[in-house]
Structure 1
């Protein structure tokens, strides 16, 4: 409660001082370009096509034979190349590690190379040493205003300010620090008045590839706005200032596009209600059951495991605990997403999390 009181007071001071940094929305259609992929083998030393059952992107319309590929650059350092969708440093990426060892990952940068978009990822084992691990990764860039009923928004925070921002209502997002390694992000109008709905994902960004993790401390509905507290940590579990990306989606997939995809779902273990939604079966249809050891969970998304698919996970709550995937998800029609959470030492520990899943259809 003491930490919550401090953050609340700091937020009030930020708002009073006008220190939240707004960014103006752009003006075309959501999502403009996007891609997702799963890096099953992070040790390949030449450009190698990634798992074709767990990747897709907006390039497939014009370039159906093209596939995302990747290459290892150094210990724990891996680049993913999404073909024919290059958009410079626009948009936001997310990355989720896939392991049972407590390795974690951040984004170093994303950039255009020729016609392609490249996402540069650095991973670490507990303690901060750079080391390889499988991971999932997405990148998406959006613009334009959406009609009411669904929403999508994101913010990139870097060098102490909002670098770029998108909000499907056309209203400017805002963000600002409330303490060392602690930030508040306000996404106006994207939620449901008085009800927490949708899903949030957060990824640390560290241009020097130092060990960083970010998570959702808490999030809430403020009228129809969504307010997210992002807390970030170093390898010792201490608060540290860092860049990050945060995105929100409600009644549409994490990539921002809709129809397709039409098969998607998300859940949060802290709240329930419309933070648990399934595009086929509706609110409350997704389930979470604990597995052994304590701190491992099976999240099931019924009837949306169709064709090429993707999953992202982020921890929610206090402390430097973090969560990600244990293995690539399995699916026939239902999608089973295996989630595991750790304390800072890499010991499996129960914790809350937010998960999101989408098909490309």
Structure 2
């Protein structure tokens, strides 16, 4: 009997260890957001872009760029290729009314290739610099205060998506160039987080933005608006990412240095801190500010997060065909980051326009 009790006790101990191991593994999997990620500042049409502004989950190698037709660039992220899925965003860096869009992305060997196309207002090709980010996630995310989700709409259906609550995202086509995105399970009692939207189209000029945003405890509802080369609404593909207390890549701690803000009142000369505080997040706990830098120009300051390599993305907000880009490369000075400047356009003229800006570092 004593031997039997000893055997049973050992079996129970082994089962407990297996269960504990499984629980730990599940916890690790739940925390493993993202699966892969990468970002870069592309300042060349061929070769290796600035190494100080690129980082990713690869173990070796560097981002490379190859040219295509005028205004087209093939950005290759080393060692993070996935068979399908993921999400990509791109922001033009230019002193003119230009934008960049995603054409497509996919695995090439062990790498991930993202094709980017840049245009000037009216539809001609643009030789723009740009900032780009790619990420792919799976599994649940805890704690509930943090949330992350994305959708890739290919023009007809959801081709790739993720929701950190594991709920099913949905998209409703309202009218030409107008969609409603529902991200269930990522809800908040107040407005909180940040949104980035990028057009995806390999056949024509397209640009997309956030038209409207509402929130509830049950989820986030976001309107996506897209236009063609000028002011005409356009049915096209697009990507959307929602982040709350996570980096734009979905990662957290690291990076310990990331931030985002929503310039809700572009007529405010500032510097001001956008409210509510949930839309003006800074992981170290500093306060981001926005201020005027001229007509249609907004200087965004992200304090205490300045470390290289890093990345900035921007998306316009509101009705109509206005769009935003970055006037020049952001500056990292000491522990602060200065986005000098976010610039928004209606046609070729700069104007005050609400915008969503997100920043992340590698660390």
Answer whether TM exceeds 0.5 for this pair: yes
Tell me the residue number matched to 1:67.
Answer: 62
Is 1:160 aligned to residue 156 of structure 2? yes
Q: Provide the alpha-carbon RMSD of the alignment.
A: 1.2
Tell me the residue number matched to 1:40.
Answer: 43
> Where do 1:98-247 residues align within 5 Å?
98-147=93-142, 148-193=144-189, 195-208=190-203, 210-247=204-241
The aligned length equals 321
Any unmatched runs of 5+ in structure 1?
1-26
SS at the partner of 1:53?
A: helix
Q: Quick one: distance in 1 between partners of 2:68 and 2:155?
A: 25
Deviation per CA, 1:56-100, whole angstroms, max 9, x where unpaired? Answer: 0000xx32xx11111111210001110000013310000000011
Q: Which protein shows a greater Rg?
A: 2
> Where do 1:238-317 residues align within 5 Å?
238-270=232-264, 272-273=275-276, 274-281=278-285, 285-292=287-294, 294-317=295-318
Q: Quick one: distance in 1 between partners of 2:91 and 2:218?
A: 28
Tell me how far 1:149 sits from its aligned partner: 2.1
Q: Quick one: distance in 1 between partners of 2:218 and 2:259?
A: 21
SS at the partner of 1:118?
A: strand
- The alignment's TM-score, normalised by the length of structure 1, stands at 0.87
Tell me the residue number matched to 1:49.
Answer: 48
SS at the partner of 1:247?
A: strand
Q: Quick one: distance in 2 between partners of 1:227 and 1:159?
A: 19
Tell me the residue number matched to 1:5.
Answer: none
SS at the partner of 2:51?
A: coil
Tell me how far 1:307 sits from its aligned partner: 2.1
Tell me the residue number matched to 2:356.
Answer: 354
Q: Quick one: distance in 1 between partners of 2:215 and 2:127?
A: 38
Q: Quick one: distance in 2 between partners of 1:197 and 1:243?
A: 26
Any unmatched runs of 5+ in structure 2?
1-28, 265-273
SS at the partner of 2:82?
A: coil
8 Å Cα contact 1:202/1:215 also seen in 2 = yes
Point out 4+ residue stretches in structure 1 off by more than 3 angstroms.
none
> Where do 1:68-83 residues align within 5 Å?
68-83=63-78
Is 1:30 aligned to residue 29 of structure 2? no
8 Å Cα contact 1:88/1:110 also seen in 2 = no
Deviation per CA, 1:301-343, whole angstroms, max 9, x where unpaired? Answer: 0010112100000000111000111111001211001210111
8 Å Cα contact 1:98/1:133 also seen in 2 = yes
Tell me how far 1:272 sits from its aligned partner: 2.5
SS at the partner of 1:312?
A: strand
